[in-house]
Chain A
């Protein structure tokens, strides 16, 4: 028991160390495994993917995130070979993929619908790709066994797909796509059909698996939490273009545009006018409050220009007591609605001008003398380093 725990701990430490230092995209000496170069895909008049250039590195867990119809699935299907780019170049490990049919590409895909062969049992489904490679039978059996162990379905080898639960089918699909040890595993909304709890568990399993196998994973998802959880880097797509490509924390803390700030998590957007740019500090005023505003973020527009302060609900503070006279970053308002989530309280505060701010606070109500209640007059404040300035 002790040994197992020690081994687990050692493994955790290695993973932690690798995860902390893993950033090949910052290292100019690294060659990317997958390169999209000015890739365009049109379907008739509709441009699904518009001039996308993107590098993905070996061992990276990369997420394509965006609303449905944003082109993320098309981008993945071009890599799998089901669609050919209308223009642009797509290379994998230096090899141009133009004209290479799907059955000759060293990538495998886990389909959103799983696409398990209904007339084959679990073992035959997993062995299907291996048989195409003319692998000796003994090796196939061994690999199938290994895959079944990996996804914990040893007892289900002889079952047909329709005899399995949704979660089991998902694992068969994963095992089948991993069986050939592809250079890149493509995951198309892999967890979409699972319920929330199972989905969250599976996200962590996927991360461990990717780490252990040392493979490159490319996941397509519309679920921003899923992308944030699993990915080393996220590419946010909208209307066929890449809006931002960054690690999850940067996307959340330093969103590039209003669209991303709004798409990833909850955000309050405060339209303001810049009054002074003082290096790392920007001073602003806004029509929605009389108090001056200060944000610890360099400004891209000159004084007099417009900028938008983006602040996450959890970075706003809420109080029943007014702050000292002349304080900065203060909004006065009334509680308009309260959402009780168990671990969090969400307050919707209506300001005098009618705009509403979302404020979330850890639920400490047992320790608070008087909880905030409906129609209370409240003051919302934030620290200068809590917000970012957006100009796009």
Chain B
């Protein structure tokens, strides 16, 4: 091995901390471009290091609170890559990028902390560190964004409260609170049977509710459309593309490591959340006229699909969910990049999207492809993700109906995706729109990922297999 595993882990942590210093060093001098370059470089370094660590199979624990292993390395790399895209989007969108970066860098550290967490408290802190700065990012973007920020703030406070309570309830069962399977024996009372352990079950439920908030599962998700619509587009892309995925990582870490012995208890909860979320997202998306809000609902329904694989709770199910997470991450970032750019040109509703096909051909065709992928049309990546998720449900035999619900939902979704595509290609206009170069680059990358990973998903699937096996091996 070229670099010792311990050094890799330390290097990643040091780079994370360096990210926080970047805005602090650049704000006084208003060095937006330098801040952008520095933060991008740091993210790229983290990306490279995590790829290296993943390929080398690094497995190391740092300060007992961080654990670097295949699963966390996979997501570290994925988030670093996605954050690079968001970083570029934000740089183009904000005249005062450094101020944005101040909060953004904290959120980034929060995400990485969750991905690398080795204890429940680390996860809690990481989630907090991610959500609060996100609220500030929204708030500082302008006066009319404050409502969305406050909503996010209040509801995330409640969710974090629920999660803290859940962790507190777990204390009698595991004094360390590390990410390791918790046994059903209470260290204080000596109660043993899982069914009699109401504290433990309550803890699982509270985790489900808190995570239900973070991953936008019905009924903990009513805030989502308001916040997604109210937030500036790059933050919406961040929320839908990364924050939610971080929450899925936390959910997987808690359920599949800590509560792994209580699968019969948490699996039905996830089944319920999944079905409700899919139907809620898809049916409400049908009646939306604001494209950003439509995408918000669509991303809710995508969270429902991801939950299917988690509800199945087998190695294959987790692998499928990881695939769907990756798929949705790229699709949603690409789509919100286009929506953000159109929003800055005052195009918001479906009616505004009329004739987009003739105003900017690239944007229209990209959005169409991304939406087809979200709808699950082969051979794009959205199809692969959905296909694997549904297959995992079928494979489990007992949850076959989840796959059927999923299929029905993915066909309902074709209606509203087709509606957007329809609009873009109806009518004609000679009023051309020009796309900024960073937005263009982000869309090209997201599109390339959507198409190429759809045509050749082999490497991605094997990486997801390694990650999911590593998660279950703890």
Q: Do A and B interact?
A: no
Interface residues of B (CB under 8 A from A): none
Interface residues of A (CB under 8 A from B): none
